[in-house]
Amino acid sequence: MSLDVSLYRSYQVSYDEGKTIKNKEECVYDANITHNLTTMADKAGIYKALWRPEEISAVKAEGLIDVLEKGLKDLKNKPEYFKEFNSSNGWGMYEHFVPFVENYLNACKEYPKADIGISR
């Protein structure tokens, strides 16, 4: 089982000089991570931002930036503490989670108006 996070942006296209306008949607970011990292995410204060953004009223990527920045800072400042929450089976490790959060944060900053998509 994994958490899939995606960011989608909508844009308009016209193939007939503006007479007909269609809305298109494209995925600008997509990643997944194991559910075995929920405890680590919770301890870093980013569980809801990642797994349940609707519970913090985050619909657009910009709604995650502050929370993810704080959580990532905590993760990087206290690696030994967070490594205590590594999964015993090796599926869900600190060294995989930090880059996941960092990449997602960067995508949120690059596409702040993108819609958040979550599959859990």
pTM of structure: 0.90
pLDDT tens string for the chain (120 positions)?
799 999 999 888 877 777 788 888 999 999 999 999 999 999 999 999 999 999 999 999 999 999 999 999 999 999 999 999 999 999 999 999 999 999 999 999 999 999 999 999
Token look-up 């970011």 returns 29
Give the pLDDT score at 11.
84
Phi, psi of 6 (to 5 degrees): -140, 150
Tokens 């995989």 sit on residue: 96
Quote the CA–CA distance of 8 and 115 in Å, as a whole number.
5
Beta-sheet strands, E only, within the chain: 2-13, 22-34, 115-119
Residue 54: the pLDDT is 97
